[in-house]
Amino acid sequence: MTSNGPYQTPGITTISRTVASLAVGVVHTLERAVVGDGRVRTARGNAWEAVCADRARAAQRRELDRLVAELTAARAAARERLDARDSQPVS
């Protein structure tokens, strides 16, 4: 005998969805209580943090490239000085 009326018994998927929904609600409420309404993470906030992190990594990469170029130039200059000194005739 099947029931086609508006009052069907809940299945396992309905119960799982209900539990998941309640868990999300609890976590959301807990987050608001702990960090405050103004500091709740949002998609926009996450995206902005990602942009800032990318910019910081790019700045670090530029600084490292500058330091490597500076060290390479200093090493080349030192090598040229050594070569110039070694090529002078001994008196």
28 contacts 19 by C-beta, under 8 angstroms: no
Judge whether residue 1 has pLDDT over 70: no
Residue 8 has pLDDT above 80, yes or no: no
Q: pLDDT band at 10, cuts 50/70/90?
A: low
Query: What pLDDT score was predicted for residue 59?
Result: 96
Q: Give the model's pLDDT for residue 62.
A: 96
Kindly tell me the sign of the dihedral angle through the C-alpha atoms of 38, 43, 44, 47.
positive
DSSP summary character for residue 88: S
pLDDT at 5: 56
> Would you say 32 and 40 are in contact if contact means Cβ atoms under 8 Å apart?
yes
Residue identified by tokens 């998609």 is: 43
Residue that wins the pLDDT comparison between 58 and 45: 58
- Secondary structure of 2-29 in HEC code, one letter for each residue: CCCCCCCCCCHHHHHHHHHHHHHHHHHH
